[in-house]
Structure 1
């Protein structure tokens, strides 16, 4: 199956060969002829690969042919890499040829050593022989040649309005019955720590059932500690124990700690005497010697503690000590339940008429899901944009007769997999390089795809990164990745995971090679992993150790690596890994010549060396002329030696955070392709004017350079700049030209001193005519009343409100150092003027205010004429009452924290006008309401009986969560008000509020709790 992706490799190799023939005039004549021959053969083979990939699913002979083709393609790629490497080495090691030297001489001196040329020629001859055999064998299969078409990536996926399918829906009666049985068993007290197990095949819903149990309110009330650990394979006792300790939170252990006795000791201390529920999800090991140490330590909990295990094997359940009566086997979904789930996933937004049209084929497909929920979800996403003919094609596919797949779900995933383009297939299967349940960082994954060559060749315009992002979105749309975390803008995927069964499928694709290579020095699992992925992470696969100094050493089986992570020991012989494109040695103390050695890896695209003890950047770093990302953060780098980095003209991202830098060289202007530059937490006083030559720059972080006083005047040249961070600097005047940066979206100014001696707010006056930033993080500092007055006048003169109307997010933090204001009778009105001057009234969607010392809040807080969705108010030491915030029509999240003088929340907070005849809705969109650290708050005024009964008044109709935290004086909640809210409220959280806890938590059968919960049985009290 993994060989179906070979067409992308073959296409890339053919392109590379053509480039060599066209541009490398210094080739040995015989080799050049062979390359031309190989290129021709490859292009012929490409024409039949589409048919070969499909037939390779069930025909072993075709599969074997594809395996040999992929292996040959890899060999060819390695040869080309070697060729390029020694060409570059010659250029670096030898003096440049004088102008006028003969063409004959340059041809003969293509490599320093004749032996190298001879070796490459021999390898090329061997590859030619292998390819000729493959070429002849293809005739035996009578493959159908594919017509010339464009890349089959289905473009409709891109226009889907809601592409991410909701996976939280739970279908089936059995899962709810099983949940109730397990919950009842968990709530039984007494005895030693009991182990229950959920056993079933992949994709059946074991983890879903465990989550339903884990999140049940009765379970939450029953256990003092609840801990969820995803185990997977291998079973790492120390890792599991560390995870438990860190999640309990009493103490923390570094994730790389390997002292098992110490870790287990801390585990016992963390759970000792506490009643806990521990879920161990996806356990595979049947080795009792691994389980026993953990089991002994887990006996330290209080009576009634429980362990819930999910596993595919009944033998595992028995090994961990589960009795037959405590073993639960979820049933498969019925055909009707599968059809229901398939409909929810694939027919969203369809009319009843359309629904009926798809039903015949849909029910047949549902029957073939074999009762597996994940199969229905994956197939549903595949069918979303297919027409009736597409549904019929899926139903009649020969994939359903797949016999050689060892995992039941694979036929369903094969259908979705076959819908991918060759390039996307390769990207998907590579994701299995990460361990199960690993949180995958999108940026790293895309860089690794680039390192492996899966995104094609680089045109130098950033297209590879965009293609990687597009591939990731396509995988997400098909539910081949899940647990998606997006950027603040919601535009890009930042992190994701793979479902364990999808991970198994990806591994199945990759491990279908059966290559017969061996290495006596390395573990067989490492050899296999390197052969399949050309990638290595020493956390999971340990290279052999040099007995002299404990360092890792390179073996021949590692020579084809493209991606390497080393996070525990140095690697001796790393310079021989000439094919490396991606290298991470962060947090390892490199030897003195370590970076100089790394600089011999000429094909590196990503180099991460954070906190490696570097002080010197050798000039040889200029050899890495393909480098796109360089991270040198947290190293003590000498300024004068930084210039060598500035010759890396292909760099897109450069991090020099916390490098103790004082001077940035003029040569930084050479990095014209740079998109991200992090100079934060240094001692830079000024930036060179040449930095304004970086016209591709999108993010510039200068924060916490407290000696920096100004920005270059030509900053307007950074026309693509989207994020500018200058908080924590001494910049007191921003160039007027900053207003010309039309792409600027985030401007962080917090901790910049603003006052009369700092040019007041004049620097913002220059910005508002053109600045389109959506986010502003602003810190306001002053030390006298006169400065405060001048600040208000400044704001007016700067017409600041006109600028602020453009903002969607605003964070304002006040810091005041003066005594006179504490006694001033006019200070409150002055604070109000400050707030009105700084807080916009219309387009703002998110507002954070901290340190405000006025007694009244700005009018925005009660104006119905705005679009604000989220308000956070903290450290408001003088506010004693709240305005009519219920009038805010779009407010969804409201948080109050540290309102030291707040004593009474009255009915005016709701914004209900008693004289109003029309229907009134207070807080019409509010979903979350949080109060914390309001130590003097004694009363929350309730609504009247008439208002409670009135159908013309609605209060917080969408409120789902109410939190009261550390409000010690509040004794009672407004019951009548909560009756109006009760239909939507799901979570009531009370923390550190002793009076409320007495009233509601300690007597859940008492009248107070019944009064607010009787109309809403789904309401849950936390903790």
Structure 2
């Protein structure tokens, strides 16, 4: 099952901001004005193409579209570098800032070529073999689920099913709410939320307790009248000839159908409408569920969704997070699928392969079932061994998760995908990650009265509420993480832009990579494998075999376009004077053993520094505070 080519992350949101920077620097310069105009000309084209749903794997249009988006991304990166360089020259001193023309003599030709390049990319969009644009929608309208349980056996969900049924039919005190209390099941794609809801819906205790049941698959239907009509159809309480009525008439009929009855409603596969505000989404559901006020006490609603935000919008009284299956349950499901439910013994010569596959599917029932169907009725050890391939498992998992990513707004897609450069066990610090996003220009310029940091925190919280990050508490502190499935997803959609190099993997780094994490023992090998001037992020991690306390001086000077340098998880305690040549550096985090910074660092005008522990005693802000280069001298007394 080959994976579709990875698409570059969106850059259309950067174009207007870059055009604004070019205009502010121009002061009548034709080259900068021309670049600004070219950026604005291509913006609507880029925005439209980025909003298209992903091309089908193997389709002729996929490579062409991805190549076009990659070419645009490279041009935008070059424009950003050039504008940063001009801005630095303008700020360098009175001699240059008083006459921007002097600063522009050298880059003038680059500006003209870059504008021509952007126009050429724009013209190239007309030759893309694409059909009609699909706007913002990323989901197929053909998705339908029903209440009938198609599975012969459901593995590993007995306890959670009993828990949900207990919540729905329990004799506990009724919560005072304007509509029936909501129980929400939240989980990633392919985790079996629908199957679990079917188990609950068909449980004998549910059938006995409720007078009336209804099931609707919400999927891409978020219109009040359509949803109300769907519920009416599911209850069987109105004939088909009445379904063209207004929303008011439909709601009146639904209220009559459920009146004084203990009603159970399943809303399967609910998504947040990203085109509406949270308040607007709440308003939609308040209208849809309002007729249930006439239902009897004890009525309940069960919701399945990929997004914690949906549970919040629906005011869920109880939320169950559906995690992956245990390896043992995946193996049972694999056997069941391979044998088609027959009672024959599982071939012992294939058991070892089966255990390996069960361990690689990351707890995904969908991936397990798909692989089982691919292996059905075959005893070929060659085919079973092939299915142990991690890439095959990952591709199947990605197919069930990619809609979650494609549903995200573009600015959140990039922020999430960037997280793939961190190790799988990384505990994210919300403040540090937001500072990185800001340093890289991922956070769009805020409206008046808002700080970039506040907008960056909102980005993070939006990803958290959409279940892309998990959270946990330890030692009275909250930390955040990507689970295994989200790591796979982030890697899939950042493959052109981000790379994580493990200690034992010799690699050649593709020229499109802009964000990189390496261990200290791999640093010296970078120069021969990559044009280092392309990098925007370098995350250096401690090596288990070869600790290093210093950064090679000549190597550091090569990272001329670096924005983010994070050494906080390495052994590097000494920085060379060549760091002063990293004129675009915005973010520096260094290890707690560092006791002195080179004086050249004070020349870096954009830089903010995060000392992990260094400022605890000699800086009034305490540990973990950011400092600009302007106050570093105060901290160090240099």
- Report the TM range for the smaller structure's normalisation: 0.5 to 0.7
Kept after mapping to 1: 8 A contact 2:421/2:517? no
| Structure 1 residue matching 2:535: 3-state secondary structure | coil
Check 1:483–1:31 CA distance in 2 against 1; reply closer, same or farther (3 A cut): closer
Q: CA RMSD in A?
A: 5.2
| Structure 2 residue matching 1:356: 3-state secondary structure | strand
- State the 1:585 CA deviation: 3.3
Partner Cα separation in structure 2 for residue 49 and residue 128 of structure 1: 17
Which residue number corresponds to residue 608 of structure 1?
A: 589
Pairing 1:914-993 to 2, within 5 Å after superposition: none
Which residue number corresponds to residue 110 of structure 1?
A: 104
Which of 478, 482, 491 is the matching residue for 2:470? 482
Which residue number corresponds to residue 45 of structure 2?
A: 44
- 1:612-647, CA deviations, whole angstroms, 9 ceiling, x for partnerless residues? 6554652x544333234442854xxxxxxxxxxxxx
| Structure 2 residue matching 1:585: 3-state secondary structure | strand
Which of 422, 433, 450 is the matching residue for 1:434? 422
Partner Cα separation in structure 2 for residue 508 and residue 406 of structure 1: 9
- State the 1:495 CA deviation: 1.5
Partner Cα separation in structure 2 for residue 525 and residue 585 of structure 1: 22
Pairing 1:816-831 to 2, within 5 Å after superposition: none
Kept after mapping to 1: 8 A contact 2:428/2:479? yes
Partner Cα separation in structure 2 for residue 34 and residue 334 of structure 1: 50
Which residue number corresponds to residue 565 of structure 2?
A: 583
Which of 426, 443, 453 is the matching residue for 1:465? 453
Pairing 1:519-538 to 2, within 5 Å after superposition: 525=507, 527-528=509-510, 531-532=512-513, 534-538=514-518
Greater relative CO, 1 or 2 (CA 8 Å, sep 6+): 2
Partner Cα separation in structure 1 for residue 522 and residue 85 of structure 2: 29
Check 1:484–1:4 CA distance in 2 against 1; reply closer, same or farther (3 A cut): farther
- State the 1:570 CA deviation: 1.0
Check 1:337–1:602 CA distance in 2 against 1; reply closer, same or farther (3 A cut): same
Kept after mapping to 2: 8 A contact 1:436/1:498? yes
Which residue number corresponds to residue 59 of structure 2?
A: 60
- State the 1:12 CA deviation: 0.8
Check 1:428–1:611 CA distance in 2 against 1; reply closer, same or farther (3 A cut): closer
Which of 11, 14, 28 is the matching residue for 1:12? 14
**Is structure 2 residue 116 aligned with structure 1 residue 136?**
no
**TM-score normalised to the size of structure 1?**
0.34
Partner Cα separation in structure 1 for residue 520 and residue 200 of structure 2: 37
Pairing 1:843-922 to 2, within 5 Å after superposition: none
- 1:278-332, CA deviations, whole angstroms, 9 ceiling, x for partnerless residues? xxxxxxxxxxxxxxxxxxxxxxxxxxxxxxxxxxxxxxxxxxxxxxxxxxxxxx9
Kept after mapping to 1: 8 A contact 2:194/2:269? no
| Structure 1 residue matching 2:413: 3-state secondary structure | helix
Kept after mapping to 2: 8 A contact 1:34/1:124? yes
Which residue number corresponds to residue 198 of structure 2?
A: 339
Which of 20, 23, 35 is the matching residue for 1:21? 23
- State the 1:386 CA deviation: 8.3
Which residue number corresponds to residue 626 of structure 1?
A: 606
Kept after mapping to 2: 8 A contact 1:606/1:627? yes
Which residue number corresponds to residue 563 of structure 1?
A: 537
Which residue number corresponds to residue 495 of structure 1?
A: 479
Pairing 1:740-755 to 2, within 5 Å after superposition: none
Check 1:380–1:538 CA distance in 2 against 1; reply closer, same or farther (3 A cut): closer
Check 1:590–1:343 CA distance in 2 against 1; reply closer, same or farther (3 A cut): farther
Which residue number corresponds to residue 415 of structure 1?
A: 403
| Structure 2 residue matching 1:677: 3-state secondary structure | coil
Check 1:34–1:606 CA distance in 2 against 1; reply closer, same or farther (3 A cut): closer
Partner Cα separation in structure 1 for residue 201 and residue 410 of structure 2: 27
Pairing 1:252-401 to 2, within 5 Å after superposition: 337=196, 339-340=198-199, 356-358=214-216, 379=306, 381=308, 384=311
Check 1:128–1:602 CA distance in 2 against 1; reply closer, same or farther (3 A cut): same
Check 1:588–1:145 CA distance in 2 against 1; reply closer, same or farther (3 A cut): same
- 1:964-1014, CA deviations, whole angstroms, 9 ceiling, x for partnerless residues? xxxxxxxxxxxxxxxxxxxxxxxxxxxxxxxxxxxxxxxxxxxxxxxxxxx
Partner Cα separation in structure 2 for residue 410 and residue 354 of structure 1: 38
Kept after mapping to 1: 8 A contact 2:515/2:535? yes
**Is structure 2 residue 447 aligned with structure 1 residue 456?**
no
| Structure 2 residue matching 1:130: 3-state secondary structure | helix
Which residue number corresponds to residue 85 of structure 2?
A: 86
- The number of equivalent residue pairs is 413
Which residue number corresponds to residue 171 of structure 1?
A: 157
Structure 2: give runs of 5+ residues left out of the alignment.
138-154, 163-186, 204-208, 218-233, 235-264, 271-302, 315-369, 375-391, 543-547
**TM-score normalised to the size of structure 2?**
0.52
| Structure 2 residue matching 1:580: 3-state secondary structure | coil
- 1:753-786, CA deviations, whole angstroms, 9 ceiling, x for partnerless residues? xxxxxxxxxxxxxxxxxxxxxxxxxxxxxxxxxx
Kept after mapping to 1: 8 A contact 2:215/2:267? no
Partner Cα separation in structure 2 for residue 599 and residue 41 of structure 1: 35
Which residue number corresponds to residue 877 of structure 1?
A: none
- State the 1:129 CA deviation: 2.9
Kept after mapping to 2: 8 A contact 1:544/1:553? yes
- State the 1:497 CA deviation: 1.8
Kept after mapping to 1: 8 A contact 2:22/2:35? no
Partner Cα separation in structure 2 for residue 94 and residue 411 of structure 1: 54
Partner Cα separation in structure 2 for residue 456 and residue 498 of structure 1: 24
Partner Cα separation in structure 1 for residue 429 and residue 415 of structure 2: 14
Check 1:109–1:432 CA distance in 2 against 1; reply closer, same or farther (3 A cut): closer
